[in-house]
Amino acid sequence: MTQRVLHAAQILWPAFLIAGVLEMVVFSWVDPTQLRIGQWQPDAQTTYSLAFFVFWGLVTLSSLLSHWMMRVSDSPAHARRVRRHARRQQVHNHA
């Protein structure tokens, strides 16, 4: 398994599970037969499916952003910036 495939699985699989939980929580309170989008009133199965994919997409974006931020903070360039900032703080505190 390549690193890219592993990262995709680490992002998509938990997002899939959380989307399922969100689906159960939301539709325990909301009746899908009462929802309308303009003049269109989709059947319950369509509402469940669309909502699941919206939830999955949003949680995936959140996980992807977290993953990207972790990779950026682990980069050598970020480590150099942190060290440079710490040195500046030392100089500033001693002055």
Task: Look at the chain and report how many structural domains it folds into.
Answer: 1
Per-residue pLDDT of the chain (95 residues), as tens digits, is: 898 899 899 999 999 999 999 999 999 999 998 989 899 999 999 999 999 999 999 999 999 998 888 887 776 766 677 677 767 777 777 76
What is the maximal distance between C-alpha atoms in the chain? 70
What residues make up the domain containing 7? 3-94
Residue 73 has a pLDDT of 75
Residue 17 has a pLDDT of 96
User: Long-range pairs for 66-73 at CB < 8 Å and ≥24 separation?
Assistant: 67/7, 67/10, 67/11
Percent of residues in the chain assigned helix, strand, coil, to nearest 5: 85, 0, 15
